[in-house]
Amino acid sequence: MIHKVITKKEFKKFVNSLIDGNQTFGPKQVDKRTDGSGVYQFKEVNSFDEMDLDYTVTYSSVKNFFLPFREELSRFDFSDKGWKQSVEYRVNPRVIIGVRPCDINALSILDKILIGGAYPSPYYMARRTNTFLVGMDHEPLDDCFCESLGHDTVHRGFNLFCTDIGDRYYLTISSSKAFGFLKNFKVTDPANGDSAKFHARRKHLRESFKAKVEVTGLPSVLDIEFKSPVWKKWGDKCLNCGSCAMVCPTCYCYGIEETVDVSLKSSRKERVEYSCNLVDFAEVAGGHNFRPLKEDRLKYRFYHHYRGFAQNADDPICVGCNRCGRACLAGINPKDVISDLQMED
Ligand code: SF4
Ligand code: SF4
């Protein structure tokens, strides 16, 4: 890692040059809530001024730039002589600006599973390696609990990370590409006092978290509480809508759909994001459903996130963004469910 400092004015020039040369996405206000607060999403931008880098949170995470809700995996063309399969996973280089630490950490978790796992995904890998990520710190929201899980800071998974130290950004450069891009701009080595400002900013942000979740020994608590009535209490409220998984930056379960053209001359295979809370998630051919009860489906989502299966055994994949809690119309959120489990005798 290399650290540099850049004025906000020069940073704007730097970002505009990235935008000029690349398809670029950044946080934009797309709507307003009744209380006047903004609704933000990552959208394509054509200039620095279109972005709102002080955004609170985006409803969906940047995960969907890497794992779209629906993507074509392959296409088949049939003829009298046989069939031909085509697979396309190349993407043009692109830039995403203003990504928060928890969302970058979520991508690092997905990297472990979708690049480092037993079955690497070339589709995910192509998007990940062709995306230049610029991260930014931010003041936590009242319900963010990423600090409890150690995801309020970030050490990998980005190209460039900006920490706000007043009229300048303290830059953490973690790729040669970022170093190369910055060469044409006025950046300086941290001077006396800059590193102290960086640490003070980090300390301030860490101390600003209001929501705390006790995660020490959580895998063991989950092992012990497998049959707890807490699962029924929360499961009874669940509407099986799947919104929690759609907005979650680390949920990656999916289904495969095959569609054959009515002419029978072609077909396509698509990956579609899915949720383990949906009624038919564990239904198999013949109609048997291995998880017919909503309490079981909710429980398995929590086990996947905090207890771990297969590639992430014992390793929580939740980064504490609380997007699921905000999206849930039934009022189900990790903080309350976990604290209920911890209160069990
Ligand atoms: S808080 Fe919810 S949405 Fe965020 S990472 Fe954890 S499980 Fe996913
Ligand atoms: S968002 Fe809430 S109601 Fe919908 S599936 Fe998730 S936990 Fe259930």
CB of 298 closer than 8 Å to CB of 276: no
Regarding the beta carbon of 250 and ligand 1, being less than 6 Å apart is answered yes
From 105, 95, 100, 103, select the one nearest 56 (Cα to Cα): 100
Segment 239-285, tens digit of pLDDT = 999 999 999 999 999 999 999 999 999 999 999 999 999 999 999 99
250: which 2 tokens?
């680390």
152: which 2 tokens?
């309020």
Q: What is the pLDDT of residue 315?
A: 75
CB of 62 closer than 8 Å to CB of 103: yes
From 83, 86, 85, select the one nearest 264 (Cα to Cα): 83
Predicted TM-score (pTM) of this structure? 0.94
Mutate to test the pocket of ligand 2, among 60, 233, 241, 305 (most ligand atoms within 8 A of CB): 241
Q: What is the pLDDT of residue 310?
A: 59
CA distance 240 to 246: 12
Q: What is the pLDDT of residue 312?
A: 63
CB of 276 closer than 8 Å to CB of 245: yes
Mutate to test the pocket of ligand 1, among 273, 322, 337 (most ligand atoms within 8 A of CB): 322
Relative to the CA of 327, which ligand 2 atom is closest? 1
Which residues lie closer than 8 Å to 326 by C-beta, 6 or more apart?
57, 59, 143, 247
Q: What is the pLDDT of residue 311?
A: 58
Which residues lie closer than 8 Å to 285 by C-beta, 6 or more apart?
none
Q: On the CB side of 184, how many CA atoms lie within 13 Å of its CA?
A: 9
50: which 2 tokens?
């279109």
CA distance 101 to 16: 22
Q: Is the CA virtual torsion 313, 226, 280, 274 positive or negative?
A: negative
Going by CA atoms, what residue is nearest to atom 4 of ligand 1? 321
Q: What is the pLDDT of residue 235?
A: 96
Regarding the beta carbon of 277 and ligand 1, being less than 6 Å apart is answered no
Pocket of ligand 2 (CB under 6 A): 238-244, 277, 298, 327-330, 332
Please name the residue ranges forming H helices in the chain.
8-21, 63-66, 101-114, 122-129, 176-182, 194-207, 218-224, 230-235, 243-247, 294-306, 323-327, 334-343
Q: What is the pLDDT of residue 105?
A: 97
**Tens digit of pLDDT at every position of the chain (345 positions):** 899 999 999 999 999 999 999 999 999 999 999 999 999 999 999 999 999 999 999 988 999 999 999 999 999 999 988 999 999 988 899 999 999 999 999 999 999 999 998 899 999 999 999 999 999 999 999 999 999 999 999 999 999 999 999 999 999 999 999 999 999 999 999 998 999 999 999 999 999 999 999 988 888 899 899 999 999 999 999 999 999 999 999 999 999 999 999 999 999 999 999 999 999 999 999 999 999 999 999 999 999 999 877 556 667 899 999 999 999 999 999 999 999 999 876
Regarding the beta carbon of 334 and ligand 1, being less than 6 Å apart is answered yes
122: which 2 tokens?
């070339």
Going by CA atoms, what residue is nearest to atom 5 of ligand 1? 318
